Amino acid sequence: MARGWGGYNKVKSASSDFETKFKPGSEGSVVSLLEEEPFAAFSRHWVDLQDGKRAFICPASLEADDDDEEELACPLCDVGDCPNAPRAYINVAVLRPGERPEHAVWEFGASISEQLQMIDKSIGRRTPLTDIYILASSKGSGLNTKYHLEPLYPEDLDEFDVDELTEKQRHSFELYDEELYEIPSYSELDKIADEIA
Ligand SMILES: [Zn+2]
């Protein structure tokens, strides 16, 4: 994440509306991870304001800078508002039969995170996660949605009628980074905290 409060003012704002989001369908989707680990992870506060519900990234949920281990302060946590469970964000290429690979951001919570780590543990020691493919499927809807991930090797892709991602395709994507998400300034959160306290 952007480091320190100074960096927070520099994050790009409007960009978060434009990224393509990947959601595994019930029929199963094949993706290639474009990086070994999520580029961002954080929790959000959902706050009822006069003009409706608004989400704010919780600064206390951001990974602290290596040089500055101190946890970042969050005025909303300080007034007792609980952020939601952390979500992680990773760059993927979605592979569909007869289509070009599509660059997208996959946002996920604990269940997918655990499954990815299991896959990484079982095969990642020998093969980087970026060299295999993931078959992701969902079951159910809303809060009852369950996700299932399965590792696929290049030789398994025929079964799904998709081609391996070429090195050229892989490098043609401009990966999103933490600047995709707007991190509110301390003073903005402080004002909101006053409003809801
Ligand atoms: Zn917070």
Ligand 1 centroid to Cα of residue 117, in Å, is 26
Ligand 1 centroid to Cα of residue 41, in Å, is 14
Q: Work out the pLDDT band at 6, boundaries 50, 70, 90.
A: very low
Ligand 1 centroid to Cα of residue 26, in Å, is 34
For the whole model, what pTM was predicted? 0.84
What pLDDT does residue 103 have? Answer: 96
- Torsion angle (degrees, nearest 10) of CA 120, 44, 14, 64: -60
What pLDDT does residue 41 have? Answer: 94
> Residue with structure tokens 């302060």?
73
SS3 148: strand
Ligand 1 centroid to Cα of residue 82, in Å, is 7
Ligand 1 centroid to Cα of residue 61, in Å, is 7
Compute the C-alpha angle 26/31/36, nearest 5°.
130
The CA R_g of the chain, rounded to the nearest whole Å, is 19
In this predicted structure, the answer to whether residue 193 has a pLDDT above a threshold of 90 is: yes
Q: Work out the pLDDT band at 4, boundaries 50, 70, 90.
A: very low
Alpha carbon distances (Å) from 145 to 32, 43, 105, 140: 22, 19, 19, 5
* pLDDT 10s digits, 55-97: 999 999 987 665 555 667 899 999 999 999 999 999 999 999 9
What pLDDT does residue 143 have? Answer: 83
The stretch 178-183 carries a mean pLDDT of 88
Which residues make Cβ contacts (< 8 Å) with residue 143, sequence separation at least 6? none
Ligand 1 centroid to Cα of residue 21, in Å, is 25
Contact 39, 73 (CB under 8 A): no
Average pLDDT, the chain: 87
Exposure class string for 5-22: b at 16+ Cβ within 10 A, else e: eeebeebeeeeeeebeeb
Ligand 1 centroid to Cα of residue 20, in Å, is 27
Ligand 1 centroid to Cα of residue 175, in Å, is 27
Ligand 1 centroid to Cα of residue 106, in Å, is 23
Q: Work out the pLDDT band at 5, boundaries 50, 70, 90.
A: very low
What pLDDT does residue 147 have? Answer: 96
Residue 1: CA count within 13 A, CB half-sphere: 25
* pLDDT 10s digits, 99-151: 999 999 999 999 999 999 999 998 867 788 999 999 999 999 888 999 999 99
* pLDDT 10s digits, 142-180: 889 999 999 999 999 999 999 999 999 999 999 999 888
What pLDDT does residue 69 have? Answer: 54
Q: How far apart are CA 104 and CA 102, in angstroms?
A: 6
Q: How far apart are CA 11 and CA 182, in angstroms?
A: 6
Alpha carbon distances (Å) from 12 to 9, 74, 118, 176, 182: 8, 21, 34, 12, 7
Ligand 1 centroid to Cα of residue 42, in Å, is 10
What pLDDT does residue 123 have? Answer: 85
